[in-house]
């Protein structure tokens, strides 16, 4: 009995030390965990793959739609109809008359919002699982045979740019707030149409998504060990608490803001192309 206990202890220590080696090398080494070596192999009994399905479908549709719209280069504003609406995919609008840029104006600004979303911590987790299957789920074998290297090598090391994309995203948020305010100013004066409310809802959701960002939470106070030891500690602590509250639901804000921006563009496209008419409420 005592011998059996010693053998079990030895193998547990061996397993533990293997994991420690993986951690010491900078990243956790999932291949040392038993039962996770083959693709899809897991000890989980729930339908873990179900989590990936909605993301794969909605994100797939969003990527196809935004790519098509970015290259389309028309029906992105309603000024010709006397309506002050501009698609968020084309804001800020640069060289719409093609003086020096022959292609769609959206292509000039796409890298900002795209870079911010692509490097977002939530989206990274979601697309690594749903599209790269690397791994397909938490505690599910990826079966690639290669050791997990984290985001320490090209191209994934570029994900570290997220904190800088945050600043870029804030600039876009300012532009979109400007567009939303302009959406209240019709040629005849102040007014509200369905498009005004659509643009307003869109920028509110985008603002919440942007400021629920993990990088922003870190910036505003997450990096501090002691709020009372720094200048403006009290307001920073209050702001950090508010951002932390939003940050807890970051995945939710990522989803609704993504759907909102897609639907806002779709609405403006339908109105701009004459397929539907905007309803004036005020
Ligand atoms: S972590 Fe998602 S936007 Fe920064």
pLDDT in tens, 15-45: 444 444 444 444 444 444 555 567 878 888 8
Ligand 1: centre distance to CA 145 (Å): 30
- Mean pLDDT of the region 42-62: 90
- Mean pLDDT of the region 249-270: 98
Give which of 262, 198, 202 is closest to 60, Cα–Cα: 262
- Top mutation candidate among 125, 127, 172, 214 for ligand 1, by most atoms within 8 Å of CB: 214
- Does the pLDDT value for residue 13 go beyond 70? no
**Closest ligand 1 atom number to CA of residue 169:** 3
Ligand 1 neighbours by CB, cut-off 6 Å: 120-122, 162, 213-215, 250
- Mean pLDDT of the region 8-13: 43
Per residue in 197-229, pLDDT tens?
Answer: 999 999 999 999 999 999 999 999 999 999 999
User: Which pLDDT score, from 0 to 100, does residue 34 have?
Assistant: 53
Structure tokens at 131: 């599209």
Per residue in 133-182, pLDDT tens?
Answer: 888 888 888 776 666 677 888 889 999 999 999 999 999 999 999 999 99
Ligand 1: centre distance to CA 189 (Å): 38
**Closest ligand 1 atom number to CA of residue 250:** 2
Q: Atom 2 (ligand 1): residue with closest C-alpha?
A: 120
**Closest ligand 1 atom number to CA of residue 121:** 1
- Inter-residue contact 67 to 80 (CB < 8 Å): no
pTM: 0.85
Q: Atom 4 (ligand 1): residue with closest C-alpha?
A: 213
- Does the pLDDT value for residue 4 go beyond 70? no
- Mean pLDDT of the region 67-90: 98
Q: How far apart are CA 280 and CA 282, in angstroms?
A: 6
Q: How far apart are CA 193 and CA 183, in angstroms?
A: 8
Ligand 1: centre distance to CA 247 (Å): 9
Q: When comparing pLDDT for 69 and 152, which is higher? A: 69
- Inter-residue contact 96 to 109 (CB < 8 Å): no
Output the average pLDDT for the chain: 88
């Amino acid at each position: 009995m005592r011998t059996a206990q010693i053998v079990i202890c030895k193998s547990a220590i061996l397993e533990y030390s293997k994991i420690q080696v993986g951690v010491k090398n900078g990243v956790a080494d999932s291949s040392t965990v038993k039962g996770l070596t083959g693709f899809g192999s897991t000890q989980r009994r729930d339908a873990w793959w179900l989590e990936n399905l909605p993301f794969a479908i909605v994100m797939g549709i969003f990527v196809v739609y935004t790519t098509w719209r970015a290259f389309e280069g028309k029906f992105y504003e309603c000024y010709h109809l006397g309506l002050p609406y501009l698609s968020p995919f084309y804001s800020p609008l640069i060289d719409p008359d093609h003086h020096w840029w022959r292609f769609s104006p959206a292509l000039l600004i796409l890298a900002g919002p795209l870079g911010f979303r692509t490097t977002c911590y939530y989206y990274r987790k979601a697309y690594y699982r749903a599209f790269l299957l690397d791994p397909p789920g938490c505690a599910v074998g990826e079966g690639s045979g290669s050791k997990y290297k984290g985001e320490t090598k090209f191209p994934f090391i570029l994900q570290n740019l997220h904190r800088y994309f945050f600043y870029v995203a804030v600039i876009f948020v300012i532009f979109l707030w400007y567009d939303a305010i302009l959406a209240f100013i019709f040629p005849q004066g102040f007014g509200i149409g369905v498009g005004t409310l659509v643009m307003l809802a869109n920028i509110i959701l985008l603002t919440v998504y942007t400021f629920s960002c993990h990088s922003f939470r870190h910036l505003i106070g997450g990096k501090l060990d002691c709020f009372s030891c720094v200048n403006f500690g009290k307001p920073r602590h209050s702001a950090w608490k508010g951002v932390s509250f939003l940050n807890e639901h970051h995945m939710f804000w990522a989803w609704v803001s993504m759907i909102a921006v897609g639907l806002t563009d779709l609405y403006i496209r339908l109105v701009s192309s004459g397929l539907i008419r905007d309803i004036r409420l005020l």
